[in-house]
Structure 1
Amino acid sequence: MLLLVGGGFVYLTCQHRRQVAASALATRIAKEQALVLNNERVGMVRVEGRHILWANRAIHRILGYDDGAVAGASMRLLYPDDTTFDHIGALGYEALRRDGRFHTQVKMRTRTGNELWVDLSATALTNTEFLWMVVDLHQLKHSGERAQHQALHDGLTGLPNRHLFEELLRQAVAQAKRDGQGLTVCYLDLDGFKPVNDTLGHHAGDEVLRAVGDRLRSKLRSNDSAARLGGDEFAWFLSGVANESEARAVVERCIEIASRPIELTCGATVRVGGSIGLASSDDHGYSADRLLQAADEAMYQHKHAGRTRDTSVETDRLGVSAHATLRNGADRGDSLLDLTGPGAAVVEPDVVRVAI
């Protein structure tokens, strides 16, 4: 008797545990289904007889309707015209009857009457009910474009980054070689940038970099290209320019505008200079890698030579003024241009000595 009672108790306990486990599983599945159905990106409508029985939040957001506004409406509401509505109905329901699923890309109509390209798919739930799913292709397209732009451009200045610049340079070199034209690469490293960063902070340094990038962009021709390579280093190439003498006028314009005072949002006015190295196709041939490397080497050689000089800068509470001078020299056929302008900014009246 005791064994019978004990066995019954164990059986009931096991049954209860299985019911609890099944209930927990059902609850978890229901939550997961709710998360899927109420996602923010994929619009969903449950349809019977081409009338909407239920719609999730995403479809309202994609098409611009208030929550709950499309439930009970005809699917015709979502299409721009009767022709599209009839065409999708004929193709879609034939595929659903045959394969149990359907997929296409089509224009839908938003609440404001605008047309919107979407990825449209459907699956059969029962013999009479179907789940239609809508993905905004416009958003995906622009998300992809933004991601590609971010991968190839400097996030601070909007200029091409090193990867894109090297690709543009290779294309420009190949074009110049085919056309029998010259090309010159310019490599710029800012002087006086570190004191701005150290004294006024990284936000001020970012403003300086943006200003220099904007100024370089404004002075270059449409067939030239400038880039921020990283840190305070910039580069650009001059298509159709084969040697130093041809490049000088363009480079001097870039130097002049880059060295103008920069007014910062903190109230300070700063001025930076730069060391520039040039490498032309006349001296280094039609190799993108060699041109960029030679311009980089020329810049560093002249920058390091210039660091033996000390420059005094008188400052006030808003910033500094610095005098820019242009020099040139040559070594191994590279043109070396140096703009000296130690742009250290301080907030206390004093005389600052900066080695450049």
Structure 2
Amino acid sequence: AQRRQALLGLLYAPLVAQEILHGLKEGLAAAPMDFRLLVDDHTATEDLLLDSSTGIQPLDAAPSAQPAFDLRVVAAERRVEIAGRAFRLEAALTTAYERAVIDAAGWGPGLIGLLLTALLAATTYLLAAGRARAQALADAMTEDLRRLTLDQQAMLDADVIAIAKLRGRRIVWKNRALEQLFGYGADEMLGLPVRELYVDEDTFAALGRNAYPVLSRGGHYRSQLQMRRKDGSLVWIDLNGVALPGERDVDTTLWMMADITQSKAHEARVERAAFHDALTGLPNRVLLADRLRQAMAVAQRQSQKMAVAYLDLDGFKAINDAHGHDAGDEVLKAVAQRLSSGIRGSDTAARLGGDEFVVLLTPLPAVADSRPACERLLREILAPVRLSSGVTVQVGSSFGVAHYPLDGVDPEVLMSRADQTMFESKRAGRCRIRWLNGALPPEELDLSALRRTAEELAAEAAEADG
């Protein structure tokens, strides 16, 4: 309460003085008087609050800075009390009016003093009127401040933004939204070390290293990270922190947190749609180009090899025509799954569109290391596919393989050479793999013997079901 009164005093003092000055000037506009208002606090120095000629003064202005009233021929003073504080109101005839009156009638100082006393009484009345206007203004501002306090409290208790005050990275104050965000009961988080809210020790330590130097310089720190709720589930948080320099403890900070889990999930969906094939979930052409550039850069730094395998399905159109596009989609999904399962974590399988796929094999210690990988993938593709309709079908594939750096050091050149080699493989008889090897003749592998006729597939399926 005392701090609030002090704050109100700082806010209202200039306004109160302004209202008083306005009231005095308004009432004495035609009077030949000078006046001034001083703080009468019985100290060695008196603070001049306002002066009729210069207006409101700083609280530490010395009365001697103005023409001395005690040198006036006709002057008077009166003590008044405003809001429990003593002030002294001094008034005097202006020096010009004094001169005029004395020159006109040297016997009249007594009468003039009587007139001045009357004017001073009127001035005191006007001062009271100014005080009333100032008090009304102060009451209105007090009500505004009360409403502002209620608004601030409502914002602090809102469910949208979670707020925590930390001291030594422990929670010493929180709002209800923080408890709801992290799944804790009422006041259960008071005194809680915030380490409990982080996914792991490394994340907790990293935020401390990054955030607190910024906060100590008076800056704001903002980050987005996953944090842990009481039940162990993870939630994405937009975290914003600021130091509280007015606190006794230098490590007191205020943090605001918003749940952005849904927006992060939406971002992930949008990003996946932009960089992945909608049907198979494999990386699309855009992501493949980025992965290829990265793989070539790594191979160059580490003096290693890498391979681009361009492949096209054999017999896919016949399945589409005979069984419909839904059946074709099932085949494409099955091939994508087999490619993804048959490569390493450092490799990439991508769908370019239609029945065309690309596999990046990286890194490779030697060019020859691409051969067993490609053969394994083709054998997986040649395995029969059981459709949801119960029909069993089979597709083959023709591979064209180019190597970095033997067959190209530019991504587009490498892709183009692999594409051209795939068409050469298809023209040679399908279900083949053709490897480029720099200046040496290409190598080929023919797996067409693994193709089955429709009758053979049906018989094998019947035997498997039997």
TM-score (structure 2 length as normaliser): 0.44
Cα distance in 2 for partners of 1:330, 1:120 equals: 53
**Which residue is 1:92 aligned to?**
none
Q: Deviations over 1:156-181 (max 9, x none)?
A: 11111111111111111111112111
**Which residue is 1:18 aligned to?**
none
- Classify the secondary structure of the residue corresponding to 1:267: coil
Q: Deviations over 1:250-276 (max 9, x none)?
A: 111001111101111111111100111
- Classify the secondary structure of the residue corresponding to 1:306: coil
> Would the aligned equivalents of 1:156 and 1:210 in 2 still touch at CA under 8 Å?
yes
- Classify the secondary structure of the residue corresponding to 1:283: coil
> Would the aligned equivalents of 1:188 and 1:275 in 2 still touch at CA under 8 Å?
yes
Question: Of the candidates 138, 143, 149, which is equivalent to residue 272 of structure 2?
Answer: 149
Closer/same/farther in 2, CA of residues 117 and 267 from structure 1, 3 Å limit: closer
Verify: 1:273 aligned to 2:392, yes or no: no
**Aligned partner of 2:272: which letter?**
H
**Which residue is 1:36 aligned to?**
none
> Would the aligned equivalents of 1:196 and 1:344 in 2 still touch at CA under 8 Å?
no
CA offset at residue 202 of structure 1?
1.4
Question: Of the candidates 175, 196, 204, which is equivalent to residue 76 of structure 1?
Answer: 175
Cα distance in 2 for partners of 1:295, 1:49 equals: 66
> Would the aligned equivalents of 1:243 and 1:282 in 2 still touch at CA under 8 Å?
no
**Which residue is 1:237 aligned to?**
360
Closer/same/farther in 2, CA of residues 79 and 242 from structure 1, 3 Å limit: closer
- Classify the secondary structure of the residue corresponding to 2:282: coil
**Aligned partner of 2:317: which letter?**
K
CA offset at residue 305 of structure 1?
4.1
Verify: 1:181 aligned to 2:304, yes or no: yes
Q: How does 1:1-356 map to 2 (within 5 A)?
A: 48=151, 50-51=153-154, 76-80=175-179, 81-82=189-190, 136-241=259-364, 245-281=368-404, 283-306=406-429, 326=432, 333-337=441-445, 339-340=447-448
**Which residue is 2:71 aligned to?**
none
CA offset at residue 329 of structure 1?
7.9
Cα distance in 2 for partners of 1:218, 1:119 equals: 36
**Which residue is 1:126 aligned to?**
none
CA offset at residue 114 of structure 1?
7.1
Q: Which runs of 5+ in 2 are unaligned?
A: 1-149, 163-173, 180-188, 193-221, 241-256, 459-466
CA offset at residue 151 of structure 1?
0.8
CA offset at residue 137 of structure 1?
1.2
Closer/same/farther in 2, CA of residues 235 and 248 from structure 1, 3 Å limit: same
Cα distance in 2 for partners of 1:157, 1:165 equals: 14
CA offset at residue 212 of structure 1?
0.6
**Aligned partner of 1:252: which letter?**
E
CA offset at residue 186 of structure 1?
0.6
Closer/same/farther in 2, CA of residues 116 and 224 from structure 1, 3 Å limit: closer
**Which residue is 1:127 aligned to?**
none
CA offset at residue 344 of structure 1?
8.8
**Aligned partner of 2:289: which letter?**
E
- Classify the secondary structure of the residue corresponding to 1:222: coil
CA offset at residue 247 of structure 1?
1.8
Count of residues in correspondence between the two structures:
242
Moved over 4 A (4+): 104-121, 325-346
Cα distance in 2 for partners of 1:149, 1:328 equals: 32
CA offset at residue 77 of structure 1?
2.7
TM-score (structure 1 length as normaliser): 0.56
> Would the aligned equivalents of 1:328 and 1:335 in 2 still touch at CA under 8 Å?
yes
Computed over aligned residues only, the root mean square deviation of the Cα atoms, in angstroms, reads 4.3
Among the aligned pairs, what percent are the same residue?
39
> Would the aligned equivalents of 1:184 and 1:280 in 2 still touch at CA under 8 Å?
yes
CA offset at residue 286 of structure 1?
2.5
- Classify the secondary structure of the residue corresponding to 2:175: helix
Cα distance in 1 for partners of 2:387, 2:415 equals: 32
Cα distance in 1 for partners of 2:311, 2:350 equals: 10
Q: Deviations over 1:72-123 (max 9, x none)?
A: xxx9332234589xxxxxxxxxxxxxxxxxxx889999998978556699xx
214-223 vs 236-245, which moves further: 236-245
> Would the aligned equivalents of 1:189 and 1:275 in 2 still touch at CA under 8 Å?
yes
Closer/same/farther in 2, CA of residues 205 and 291 from structure 1, 3 Å limit: same
